[in-house]
Amino acid sequence: MKRIFFYFILLCSTSLYATQTTYTFYNAQWAAKIGTYAVSGSDGWVCDIAGAGYAEGRYTPQGYMYAGVQVTNKDDFKNAGATSVLSFTEVRRIVFNYCTNNSKGQGTIYVKVGDGEEQSLSIERPEKDKGSICRDIELVFPTPQTGKISFRTNCTENSIYINSITIKAKDGSPNITGLTADAFELVTNTDQLRDSDEIIFGVSGTQHNYIMGLYDEWNSRNNIYALKGVYSPNRQTVNENPDAVYTLRIGQSDEGDYYTFADIDGYFLVASGGNPNHSTNNYLTIWDTIYSRNYGYYGAWKMNINEDGSAEIENLGVSHSNKIQFNLNGNTPIFACYADWTQTKPALYRRVVIEDPTEPYIKVPICNFGTVLLDDTQAQGQTTIEVNAVNLTEDMRAELAGGSVFSLDRSTLDRDGDKLTISYSTDATGVYHDTLIITSGTTQVKASVLLSVQRRLTVREACALTDLTQCYLQPVVITKKYDKYIFVRDETGSMLLFDSGNLYGKDCANGDILTGVTGLYKNYYGNPDINLTAAFSKRKGDEARPELFDHTPDSADVCKYVRFENVGYSEEGQLLIDGKKLTIYDMFKVVDSSRSKVAGSTSQIAGSSSEGAGFNIEGIVYYYNQVVFCPTKIEYPSEPSDLGSQLSAELSIVEGVVLNPSGETISLYTLDGKCLSTTNTYLQLSNLPEGLYILRTPLGCQMIKR
């Protein structure tokens, strides 16, 4: 951070500073938010001269890029800036977060507090390729200033983007600052919970911005509908929503603490589906008691909360589906109960109120880097967190409890709150944990620092995982996309991607190359499968060709895309491959698409000997109670014969009748194997619907058109 100091006559002061307020701008008129709340009217900023535009920005491991209100060097935007609505008391520091172009952008920010003298902050041209990342420049007042704050920006080259302003003063904003008002904060340990806590159910991780609503018979259908939630950027807090607040109560039993969750009317969350004697429904609903004759203590829950905030909340009743989880559920997101941890775990947020605003207090968020993928031989990165504080009389000390993976950019922080950059560097996979300790006098707070380093796996490596293990795949190629089933392969093997709700791979097709595939590995009834949990990237590739097989596949070939040539059907409608039978499972409705057969029915195409066969077939090897074959394409050796053409020396079709002068046994079948007629004389075709049929003769099968 670049610091600019202005030295005045230093007066001794024992004032205790209340808080810091960060305003983040979100349009060219200098409209701002505090945390996730938009501010206006009694707070915020009055636009003096609007900026040239606004850049929403994007977050990288190094911080935000191209974020904030743009001020250019054109005359119309000279001195663009704003004035605060509020008057701040004893302002000690003002921090501007800004960025410029990659290697251009310079100028001056002028700042004034009340009737004080205008001060200047110089924005210098950045190092090449480093200007787009947001960074801080700080103005320090050794003599505190009081009054409204105004700023203006004079850009002399390219652009300057003003992302946010942090004000450290005795009196902060009346809005949410994280310290002077209550907030719903992430729970990372059950020890933080208290009886009668007000709770909001959120979603763990960073993928989905939803919270669990209250049960509503118009919106809930044996589950609890999800509402859009407003989270802080670091997911440490969530905005209050009166339609999502539950009351937690803690009870004791012989097996330890249990928890109940009641809505505003006193009804309890219950798991009322999947009684082992009946069904496996994913019911999560409400009732007026926590005990049921059918479901036991179905309103009582045991709970474990991980350091990253992901909560494992499990019902104590007898319901088969007993674990609360979030499910995106197509485009109708819900919270429901599941038998396994196959969906997204919830996160709990509890209302926290500072009981005595005059006591010293430090607030620091957990630092969760999440999962980082090992790039070649090294994984490294950093993030900057905000350490907030009130009523401290000495600066804070920052240290890590131990380990060599994490490091801090400083050991001393300002007593009014400060930013702290935490970095990591490692060359090995694993789950890393450390503890950040912040101390000022007798006040101390600790926060977890978390990092998971993984590498992308080949298909063969993924197939060796245990069930419900998070998996990150190397690039794979699609061989077949069908509804929510995506069959893929790489050089080491083939597997299935299960896209519940058809959310992530809706527009995928054969040959597409997928990168960033992430999900939970599971053996899906004998098929290696990844249940997708996040979006991936795709690009068009060459058509994926099937692997030529001349033998019947076994379980090691499951999910492979293969081709058989010169094969036929057995009497039972199975494929005959080198004299061995392979059951057909018409998953893709290829055998008779015109009849829209139900997926899973077994083809009963008219039988023939393998010697009289001679057609080619492509498809996916699958496991459905046994190894089966799912055709994607069938090639017959010749075009179907038109009515009236010569079939053989013995058979011919004349005016819609198959003539059979030799008296051999002949049969007529539909494509799905239904026998329409078997005779030793002739076959009448004229009364049949137009379409394709199979004529079975002693010499083999012949496709004919009606």
Burial environment of residue 555 by CB neighbours within 10 A (0 to 12, 13 to 18, 19 or more): exposed
Confidence at residue 1, expressed as pLDDT on a 0 to 100 scale: 44
First-residue to last-residue Cα distance in the chain? 81
Residue with the bigger pLDDT between 62 and 51: it is 51
Q: Which of 255, 229, 221 minimizes the C-alpha distance to 347?
A: 229
- pLDDT category of residue 174 using cuts at 50, 70 and 90: low
- pLDDT category of residue 673 using cuts at 50, 70 and 90: low
User: Is pLDDT above 90 for 485?
Assistant: yes
* Phi, psi values for residue 610, rounded to 5°: -65, -30
* Phi, psi values for residue 381, rounded to 5°: 180, -175
Average pLDDT value for residue range 677-690: 83
Q: How far apart are CA 558 and CA 577, in angstroms?
A: 17
Burial environment of residue 680 by CB neighbours within 10 A (0 to 12, 13 to 18, 19 or more): exposed
- Kindly state the helix (H) or strand (E) to which residue 459 belongs, with its residue range: helix 459-462
Would you say domain 2-169 falls under CATH 3.40.50.620?
A: no
Q: What is the pLDDT of residues 101-137, one digit of tens each?
A: 988 999 999 999 999 999 999 999 998 888 999 999 9
Calculate the average pLDDT of the chain.
Answer: 85
Q: How far apart are CA 43 and CA 186, in angstroms?
A: 27
Q: What is the pLDDT of residues 404-433, one digit of tens each?
A: 899 999 999 988 888 899 999 999 999 999
Confidence at residue 553, expressed as pLDDT on a 0 to 100 scale: 95
User: Is pLDDT above 90 for 257?
Assistant: no
What Å distances lie between residue 45 and 27, 74, 158, 274, CA to CA? 12, 23, 25, 55
CATH number of 547-635: 2.40.50
Confidence at residue 431, expressed as pLDDT on a 0 to 100 scale: 92
Average pLDDT value for residue range 472-492: 96
User: Is pLDDT above 50 for 214?
Assistant: yes
Confidence at residue 433, expressed as pLDDT on a 0 to 100 scale: 94
Confidence at residue 704, expressed as pLDDT on a 0 to 100 scale: 75
Confidence at residue 278, expressed as pLDDT on a 0 to 100 scale: 57
Q: How far apart are CA 200 and CA 346, in angstroms?
A: 10
Q: Are strands 527-532 and 493-498 parallel, antiparallel or unpaired?
A: parallel
Confidence at residue 540, expressed as pLDDT on a 0 to 100 scale: 94
Average pLDDT value for residue range 686-702: 75
User: Is pLDDT above 90 for 440?
Assistant: yes
Q: How far apart are CA 418 and CA 396, in angstroms?
A: 9
Q: Are strands 666-669 and 675-679 parallel, antiparallel or unpaired?
A: antiparallel
Collapsing DSSP states into helix, strand and coil, what is residue 5?
strand
Class of CATH domain 459-539: mainly beta
DSSP code at position 461: H
- pLDDT category of residue 693 using cuts at 50, 70 and 90: confident
- pLDDT category of residue 389 using cuts at 50, 70 and 90: confident
Q: Are strands 476-482 and 513-515 parallel, antiparallel or unpaired?
A: antiparallel
Q: How far apart are CA 239 and CA 366, in angstroms?
A: 18
Fold of 183-352: Trefoil (Acidic Fibroblast Growth Factor, subunit A) (2.80.10)
Residue with the bigger pLDDT between 510 and 700: it is 510
Asked if domains 183-352 and 459-539 share a fold, the reply is no
- Kindly state the helix (H) or strand (E) to which residue 460 belongs, with its residue range: helix 459-462
C-alpha 489, offset from chain centre = 23
Gyration radius of the chain over CA positions: 34
Q: Hey, where are the domains in the chain?
A: 2-169, 183-352, 372-440, 459-539, 547-635, 652-705
Average pLDDT value for residue range 514-537: 93
Query: Could you give the strand order of the β-sheet that contains 361-363, starting from the edge strand earlier in sequence?
Result: 361-363, 379-390, 417-426, 406-408
